């Protein structure tokens, strides 16, 4: 195992956008929108969690380079009655890209939402049959040439 040697590459502007979705009960999403989640505002806390995760990516992903991030924006939003979508945009001027940082931001934001709403998602057996995190992916990456 090795961390890829990027010492021969020049620093250029790079940007990555990642996206993911959490499917919840429609009632849970309604509680989020009405500000009735006991733990607080999941969308607000998810933004912060996503930024923190992007900044810590090289500590979480073993062979990922630590990068000087110039911008991290995490945008959760309700997309229909039972889904919350999270879009993360990460920017840097570095020798390698920021896809992993964008994916980490989305993942942490979605996990935070789940953690904050899980009490509303449980069924009578204490399970989460309708709660699903899905479609976490890079939707765009850009490198200034």
For residues 71 and 12, give the distance between their C-alpha atoms in angstroms, rounded to a whole number: 14
Give the per-residue pLDDT at 74: 98
For residues 124 and 74, give the distance between their C-alpha atoms in angstroms, rounded to a whole number: 33
Answer yes or no: 41 catalytic: no
Give the per-residue pLDDT at 100: 98
Q: Which of 41, 80, 115, 123 is catalytic?
A: 115
Give the per-residue pLDDT at 80: 86
Q: Note the pLDDT tens digit of each residue in 13-63.
A: 999 999 999 999 999 999 999 999 999 999 999 999 999 999 999 999 999
* Confidence grade of residue 145 (pLDDT, cut at 50, 70, 90): confident
* Confidence grade of residue 3 (pLDDT, cut at 50, 70, 90): very high
pTM for the predicted model, two decimal places = 0.96
For residues 35 and 8, give the distance between their C-alpha atoms in angstroms, rounded to a whole number: 50
**pLDDT averaged over every residue in the chain:** 96
**Could you tell me if 18 and 91 are in contact, meaning their C-beta atoms sit under 8 angstroms apart?**
no
Judged against a pLDDT cut of 90, whether residue 81 lies above it is answered with no
**Could you tell me if 118 and 141 are in contact, meaning their C-beta atoms sit under 8 angstroms apart?**
no
């Amino acid at each position: 195992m090795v961390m890829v040697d990027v010492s021969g590459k020049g620093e250029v502007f790079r940007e990555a956008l990642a996206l993911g979705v959490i499917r919840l009960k429609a009632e849970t999403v309604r509680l989020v929108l009405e500000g009735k989640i006991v733990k607080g505002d999941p969308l607000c806390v998810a933004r912060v969690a996503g930024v923190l995760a992007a900044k810590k990516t090289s500590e979480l992903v073993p062979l990922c380079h630590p990068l000087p991030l110039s911008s991290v924006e995490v945008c959760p939003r309700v997309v229909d009655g039972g889904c919350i979508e999270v879009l993360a945009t990460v920017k840097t001027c570095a020798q390698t890209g920021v896809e992993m940082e964008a994916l980490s931001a989305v993942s942490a934001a979605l996990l935070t939402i789940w953690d904050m709403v899980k009490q509303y998602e449980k069924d009578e057996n204490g399970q989460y049959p309708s709660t699903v995190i899905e479609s976490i992916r890079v939707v765009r990456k850009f490198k200034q040439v």
